[in-house]
Amino acid sequence: MSAASLPPTQFAFRSASAIGLSEGAPAFGAPAGFEKQTGQIRVMQYSKNGHVKVMDAQSLEIIQEFAVKDILEIDFSPKGTFLSTWQRQIKTEDGSHKNMSIYEVKTGQELTSFSQKSQNNWNVQWTDDEAYCARMVSNEVHFWEPKNLTKTPFTKLRQEGMSQFSLSPGKSTSVAVFFGERKGAPAMVRIYSITNFTVPLASKSFFKADRVQMIWNQLGTNVLVWATTDHDKTGKSYYGETNLYYLAVAGNFDCRVPIDGLIHDVAWAPASKDFVVIHGQMPNPKTTLFDQRANAVHEFGRDARNTIKWNPCGRILVLAGFGNLAGTMDFWDRKTLKKIASVSARDTTACEWSPDNRHILTATLSPRLRVDNGYKIWHYTGTLVHTEEVNELYAVNWRPATPELYPIRSALSPAPKPAANSTVAAAKPAPVRAMGAYRPPQARGTPAPALFADANATSAAAAAAATAAADANLSKAALKNKKKRENAKKNKDSDETTSASAPAPTAVSGANSPARSNTPRPNSNNGSSNNSINKSKPQNGSLLPPTTTTTSATSQMTETEKKIRNVTKKLKQIHELKEKQAAGETLELTQLQKITAEAALLKELEALKV
């Protein structure tokens, strides 16, 4: 089947002011007849049968409108028959605000509503055929038939200590439930048939599990249980401990999957016969392919990767390093187990395969990153075929379609021609950043464990080289200020070395006197003079008080003076960040947020000085 005869793919994106639609390769443009939806749109979602929000994605006609305000989450049932919505719960005296509702899309009728405080796991879970939906309520999983949603649940699964549940996909639905560790007893996962809660089909007990993710294969015949703890008692990891367990629904096989170190990602192949795990310590974790009996059958090597993406037919596998990693994507052929291409997709925060099995979309979204927002579409040969910048882009999703519509040939197709704007985007240089040993946020400012001592020592030369490269990109003013700070620090160290043996020079008046740095400075906080001669560091033409004087003065400061000092310190940090930004250095999200607080800090400083 030729590419021209295939039905067109489509994706939708949501920005701060509008929702847009675009066709996929090779057209890349808004569908004819689409009217752009503008306004403060908070959420969008495709249903699996082709509806986005209340618009038919094929005919672009409005199907239904729901007069509900302040909706923060929406989701469709598997066949698009029902629409669920969630609002932030409002506190009432009797606690009766029902903020989660289920509607019938065709009629617009509200079928039922519930009180749901948490936004996490807010929606009900559906079976693939929409025969049942389920939600958890205090050690119970309630099951409803869609035609009787207004009535009491037709059945309940009650288990003491149950904290999570997951419905399997596939034709024969099962439910897996998780029990945390309790009073020395191990954690446990049990699998039940949805028609019989008396005897479990399979079960597995294990320790070291505060919470789990239950990852089903597409057939619903096997499940991987990714168990996580918040803390690692051995001290080998800042992120706790992780383990992976394999359970067959038939109850004839279960095991612990043999992995090394932390798990970064797990993904079943669409054929449900094998799965891939990225595991081990950063920056060089291992990526392993396992068969349906959890035996390692192939190693993809050690690279800084933390994301696994199979294309819908399972022929092409992407291994990528997103988040705090460099953004490299490796394309692998599952049939030959050979690498096809590697590309750099830096600052990627979202990634999704097109239903056509040939293209993958990467995007930089707000609020994770508020600069360089937009999306790119790549061919599996590594060719960048389309790119688009969108201001304040919040979401982008492909319209779902069955993989059978887009069969992939046994011989992989050649690379297409890149678009003109894609060539310019690919040629854009990445900003040079000073590199050093990575420390997770909760470990910064604390001593590194002995396990990482060698790694920190060997990275010193690389950090020095990166610093030199960063200096080359600084402006003349920024580089001059940096050299001044370095020279001032050297002068202070030299003075402290000679002060023990050399007498202090006599103070000489005059603005340009070299001995001025040793002249005692009055303490402005208490109105008295410090008669002892101390060393102080000249910086930007001003004199800093000695350390001992500063300590004494700080202890005698009023609360208002302390607040003024703290606000002034924050404003100085913002000024330094602005200098870095002006020099072309890319700032982190937290640093950008700090800059936005400058106006408020200036107002606070004026109020304190009144």
- Per residue, what are the HEC states of 130-180? CCCEEEECCCEEEEECHHHCCCCCCEEEECCCEEEEEECCCCCCEEEEEEC
Q: Judge residue 498's burial from the number of C-beta atoms within 10 Å of its C-beta, 0-12 exposed, 13-18 middle, 19 or more buried.
A: exposed
- Separation CA 549–CA 522 (nearest Å): 10
Question: Which segment of 161-165, 468-472, 537-541 scores lowest on mean pLDDT?
Answer: 537-541
Which of the pair, 326 or 542, is modelled with greater confidence? 326
Residue 493 has pLDDT above 60, yes or no: yes
- Average of pLDDT values for 111-129? 90
Q: Which value, to the nearest 10 degrees, does the dihedral of the CA atoms of residues 592, 595, 600, 604 take?
A: 130
Which of the pair, 178 or 598, is modelled with greater confidence? 178
Return the HEC string of 579-591.
Answer: HHHHCCCCCCHHH
pLDDT of residue 447: 63
Highest mean pLDDT pick, 54-58, 174-178, 233-237: 174-178
Return the HEC string of 129-141.
Answer: CCCCEEEECCCEE
Global pTM reads 0.66
pLDDT band at 592 (very low <50, low <70, confident <90, very high): confident
Q: For 339-377, how does the pLDDT look when each residue is reduced to its tens digit (9 = 90+)?
A: 999 999 999 999 999 999 999 999 999 988 888 899 999
- Separation CA 473–CA 466 (nearest Å): 11
Which of the pair, 23 or 64, is modelled with greater confidence? 23
Residue 332 has pLDDT above 70, yes or no: yes
Q: For 503-512, how does the pLDDT look when each residue is reduced to its tens digit (9 = 90+)?
A: 444 443 344 4
- Distances 472 to 468, 566, 584 between C-alpha atoms, Å: 7, 33, 11
Q: Which helix (H) or strand (E) holds 387?
A: strand 384-389
pLDDT of residue 414: 79
- Tell me which residue of 303, 310, 386, 319 sits closest to 352, measured CA to CA: 310
For tokens 């033409």, name the residue. Answer: 541
Tell me the pLDDT of the chain averaged across its residues. Answer: 79
- Separation CA 300–CA 278 (nearest Å): 10
Q: For 511-539, how does the pLDDT look when each residue is reduced to its tens digit (9 = 90+)?
A: 443 333 444 444 444 444 444 434 444 44
pLDDT of residue 591: 84
For tokens 């499940």, name the residue. Answer: 223
pLDDT of residue 421: 62
pLDDT of residue 555: 60
